[in-house]
């Protein structure tokens, strides 16, 4: 990776993950970039400015009104000079100040004066990350076109386990390269992994013109396939009928009925590292399909349709001796205790993770652009996520899968 001649402005705010930003600065410098570091006051409580000065070979900027710093390079000049700003770690407080356009210290002032790409790597306690205020700020920053990297899932300094850890320096490095338009050479975190995703609805034919279907648009599954591909995985998407375009870098097999979906999964499940079953598969199918359109009788009578059960594709996969290392099921529920139902379904289906949504809740489930899910882990722990966009939910699911597939996991 060659970043020779690239000018990177690294903003460090006050979190324990600040020590990881020293490694990030080292990666940038090693790749040939000219790195300038600016730190909030709180950041200096965690890592000394001298560390970043030694790694970058440049004076570290810490104060807005420091005559010595301003004499070397003024804050507006810092913004003008940079080709990208990378904020890592970005605390909840920094995200809030960025989102609201406050310019109350050096980092936020330089940010406001900067017109180029901004890469943000949040890091904080999982409850702070999940708080509606933080999520609202994140949405604002994303809508502004900034690149959000992470946070990842795992154990945090505060002892909590969940989403909030700053992404690894290699991931932030890669996102910065992408923001600068430099092709990434570092492998994505799922490079070399083979992933299968099911998405969309199935249609169970009654006759050549009628079918039994459901409301799944495929958006949730497609977002998962897109996220897995963006992380470097080789992705096969088994898709029911949908109007959606295939995500970049994803191979897609189109199916119509539950039995076609089952056949496609059977044919391609071997040697997969992970399989995610986001499709809304019909549980019942007509026992007989009429070859010709069923006519309405002149007698005004209704008709009775006999339905049989379809094969449970997910349960079939988890029962295989050669099952993927990480199998993720979904549960679409309506009312009741979602966590209890989800725990029960995870056990019955034999999957490692189960993602449950209450599809009767506003903003959740079928067809819309958002979803509110909880994820049941192998030990029955529940991670309740806030209302997020489907790509955000997909990223959180992929965080869990990525952790699951790590060699030490």
- The residues binding ligand PMT (CB under 6 A) are 198, 200, 216-221, 258, 277-281, 283, 310, 312-314, 329-332, 349, 357, 359, 365-367
Report in angstroms how near the CB of residue 264 gets to ligand PMT at its nearest.
Answer: 12
Buried b (16+ CB within 10 A) or exposed e, 91-113: bbbbbebbbeeeeebbbbbbbee
Q: What is the DSSP letter of 80?
A: H
Cβ distance to ligand PMT smaller for residue 90 or 220:
220
Cα distance between residue 12 and residue 380, in whole Å: 36
With residues binned 3-state (H G I as helix, E B as strand, rest as coil), the percentages for the chain, rounded to 5, are 35, 25, 45
Cβ distance to ligand PMT smaller for residue 111 or 404:
404
Report in angstroms how near the CB of residue 289 gets to ligand PMT at its nearest.
Answer: 17
Cβ distance to ligand PMT smaller for residue 158 or 319:
319
Report in angstroms how near the CB of residue 272 gets to ligand PMT at its nearest.
Answer: 15
Cβ distance to ligand PMT smaller for residue 38 or 264:
264
Query: Strands 250-254 and 234-239, how do they pair?
Result: parallel
Cβ distance to ligand PMT smaller for residue 23 or 344:
344
Closest CA to 90 of 34, 142, 174, 165: 165
Cβ distance to ligand PMT smaller for residue 119 or 313:
313
Report in angstroms how near the CB of residue 290 gets to ligand PMT at its nearest.
Answer: 23
Report in angstroms how near the CB of residue 196 gets to ligand PMT at its nearest.
Answer: 12
Instruction: Read off φ and ψ for residue 142, nearest 5 degrees.
Output: -65, -45
Cα distance between residue 215 and residue 242, in whole Å: 10
Distances (CA, A) of 72 to 64, 81, 111, 114, 177: 13, 13, 19, 18, 27
Token readout for 201 is 């609805």
Report in angstroms how near the CB of residue 393 gets to ligand PMT at its nearest.
Answer: 8
Per-residue DSSP letters for 90-105? E-HHHHHHHHTT---S
Report in angstroms how near the CB of residue 202 gets to ligand PMT at its nearest.
Answer: 8
Token readout for 79 is 């913004």
Token readout for 343 is 């725990």
Q: Catalytic site residues? A: 158
Are the CB atoms for 267 and 288 separated by under 8 Å? no
Q: Is 388 helix (H, G, I), strand (E, B) or coil?
A: strand
Per-residue DSSP letters for 183-194? PP-SPPTTTT-E
Cβ distance to ligand PMT smaller for residue 209 or 319:
319
Sign of CA dihedral 397, 402, 405, 407: negative
């Amino acid at each position: 990776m060659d970043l020779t001649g690239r000018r990177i402005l690294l903003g460090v705010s006050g979190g324990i993950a600040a020590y990881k930003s020293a490694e990030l600065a080292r990666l940038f410098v090693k790749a040939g970039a000219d790195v300038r570091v600016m730190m909030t006051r709180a950041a200096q409580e965690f890592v000394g400015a001298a560390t970043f000065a030694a790694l970058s070979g440049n004076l570290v900027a810490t104060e807005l009104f420091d005559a010595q710093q301003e004499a070397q390079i003024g804050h507006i000049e810092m913004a003008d000079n940079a080709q990208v700003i990378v904020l890592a770690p970005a605390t909840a407080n920094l995200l809030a100040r960025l989102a609201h356009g406050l310019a109350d210290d050096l980092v936020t002032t330089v940010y406001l004066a900067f017109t180029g790409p901004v890469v943000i790597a949040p890091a904080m306690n999982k409850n702070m990350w999940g708080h509606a205020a933080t999520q609202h700020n994140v949405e604002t920053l994303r809508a502004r076109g900034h690149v959000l990297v992470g946070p990842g899932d795992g154990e945090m300094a505060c002892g909590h386990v969940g989403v909030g850890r700053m992404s690894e320096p290699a991931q932030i490095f890669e996102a910065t390269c992408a923001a600068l338009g430099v092709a990434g050479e570092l492998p994505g975190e799922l490079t070399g992994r083979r992933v299968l995703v099911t998405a969309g609805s199935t249609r169970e034919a009654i006759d050549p013109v009628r079918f039994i279907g459901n409301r799944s648009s495929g958006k949730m599954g497609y977002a998962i396939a897109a996220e897995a591909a963006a992380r470097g995985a080789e992705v096969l998407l088994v898709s029911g009928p949908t109007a959606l375009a295939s995500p970049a870098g994803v191979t897609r097999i189109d199916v119509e009925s539950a039995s076609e979906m089952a056949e496609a999964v059977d044919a391609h499940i071997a040697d997969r590292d992970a399989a995610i079953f986001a499709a809304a598969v019909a549980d019942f199918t007509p026992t007989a399909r009429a070859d010709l359109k069923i006519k309405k009788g002149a007698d005004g009578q209704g008709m009775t349709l006999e339905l049989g059960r379809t094969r449970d594709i997910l349960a079939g996969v988890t029962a295989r001796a050669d099952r993927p290392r990480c199998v993720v099921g979904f549960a679409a529920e309506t009312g009741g205790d979602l966590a209890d139902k989800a725990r029960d379904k995870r056990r019955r289906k034999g999957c490692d993770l189960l993602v449950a949504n209450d599809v009767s809740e506003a903003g959740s489930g079928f067809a819309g652009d958002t979803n509110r899910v909880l994820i049941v882990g192998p030990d029955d722990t529940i991670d309740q996520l806030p209302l997020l966009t489907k790509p955000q939910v997909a990223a959180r699911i992929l965080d869990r899968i990525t952790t699951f597939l790590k060699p030490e996991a």
